[in-house]
Homo-oligomer: A and B are copies of this chain.
Amino acid sequence: MRVTVQKEGLVKKIQDVMRAVSSKTPLPILTTIKLSADLEGLTLTGSNSTMSIQTVLPQSEQVEIKEVGAIALQAKVFSEIVKNLSEGPIDLIVSNLKAVIRSGKSEFKLNGMNAEEYPRLPEWETDYSFYLPSQLLRTLIRQTVFAVSSSETRPILTGVNWRLQNEELVCSATDSHLLALRKVQVPESSPFNIVIPGKSLQELYALLPDTDEIITMKTNSSQMLFELPHLHFHTRLLEGAYPDITRFITNEYKMKMSLSTQSFSQVMKRSLLLAGNYHVVKFISNANGEVRIISQSPEVGELIEDVETSSITGEETNISFNAKYMADALKAHDGDTITISFTGAMRPIIITSPDDEDILQLILPVRSY
């Protein structure tokens, strides 16, 4: 294999595939990046047991393929070497499982592994294909993935459920205390119901361009492929039944108020300073529609903050909740105003947006004494 490539383009592509490479893996080959040169261009692949990222530097003025071939190189050291080369063209010359990386007056020799040992993507048949603009895909990942569970107690909750029916994609995530849901219209699509690992979606998010470029998605019940420009992102799906979360969602309420997203976020931030390890704050509204947050830490002190609302209707309320969950839920809202509905003493608190019917979060109150 002999390739000449400009530094800038190669650095970017290495960064992209590094998102799938973990340093903690029992398989040495998965600590490498696979490089393979053919007539199409230079292809880089990074992978862990869950996701794989494959990206192409197409043959062009920037990328000259002089001899085809392949090798697998230690991801971390290869990445650092390329980043630290001087600007300009880089020669990659591979023979006998060794790579020479030459640029300016530097000549690196790196020991590699046989590219044949690199795991191939499993063969699978696509059952469903659908399409979304990259920007919208980013938004729906951002508005849901923060709510996945970080605990492996119920592995299915570490993923985001994507359920497509009636040309509507409903994405939802929950760690069983906080739930985030986002809907989006997907015309001309067939129904499916899958659970995508949260970690895969976080890495995918970072790779998606912030443009209207259309992304093609292909899936069956166990695998999923996202086709980005010059990049394929493959992830295994989580197996098992995702809990039915719609039963928690209701339009009924005992008290409902609208208020500024930003200023309530700041109240939550302040209340967290004294809310202790469990992040519990008290919420009180009286018959005059006055709303107050109280956060107390016996040793340190307390915060009492009056909260301004733009509208409030319903019963007096006295409830405790996790301010960290509320703060996270508010971050997912892009609108200036949110609506918070309290549905009962130990029943969900539902956060919606008056400007956007497609987004909803739900948090469970905390019993306090």
Q: A residues near B, CB below 8 A? A: 74, 77, 80-81, 84-86, 98, 105-111, 266-267, 269-270, 273-274, 299-308
Query: Please, how many angstroms separate the alpha-carbon atoms of A301 and B308 in the complex?
Result: 64
Query: Please, how many angstroms separate the alpha-carbon atoms of A267 and B86 in the complex?
Result: 9
Residue of B nearest to A99 (CB): B301
Asked whether A302 lies within 8 Å of B106 as measured between CB atoms, the reply is no
Contacts of A307 in B (CB 8 A): 105
Query: Please, how many angstroms separate the alpha-carbon atoms of A27 and B300 in the complex?
Result: 17
Query: Please, how many angstroms separate the alpha-carbon atoms of A81 and B269 in the complex?
Result: 9
Asked whether A300 lies within 8 Å of B84 as measured between CB atoms, the reply is no
A304 is contacted by which of B77, B107, B299 (Cβ under 8 Å)? B107
Known contacts: A105-B306, A106-B305, A305-B106. The answer to whether A273 contacts B111 by CB under 8 A is no
Contacts of A273 in B (CB 8 A): 77, 80-81, 84
Residue of B nearest to A296 (CB): B109
Known: A80-B273, A86-B266, A105-B305. 19 other contacts (CB 8 A): A74-B300, A77-B273, A77-B300, A81-B270, A84-B266, A84-B270, A84-B273, A98-B301, A105-B306, A105-B308, A106-B267, A107-B303, A108-B274, A108-B301, A108-B302, A108-B303, A109-B301, A109-B302, A111-B300
Asked whether B299 lies within 8 Å of A269 as measured between CB atoms, the reply is no
Can you list 30 A-B contacts (CB < 8 A)?
Answer: A77-B273, A77-B300, A77-B301, A81-B270, A81-B273, A84-B266, A84-B269, A84-B270, A85-B270, A98-B301, A105-B305, A105-B306, A105-B307, A105-B308, A106-B270, A106-B303, A106-B304, A106-B305, A107-B304, A107-B305, A108-B270, A108-B274, A108-B301, A108-B302, A109-B302, A109-B303, A109-B304, A110-B301, A111-B299, A111-B301
Query: Please, how many angstroms separate the alpha-carbon atoms of A50 and B153 in the complex?
Result: 47
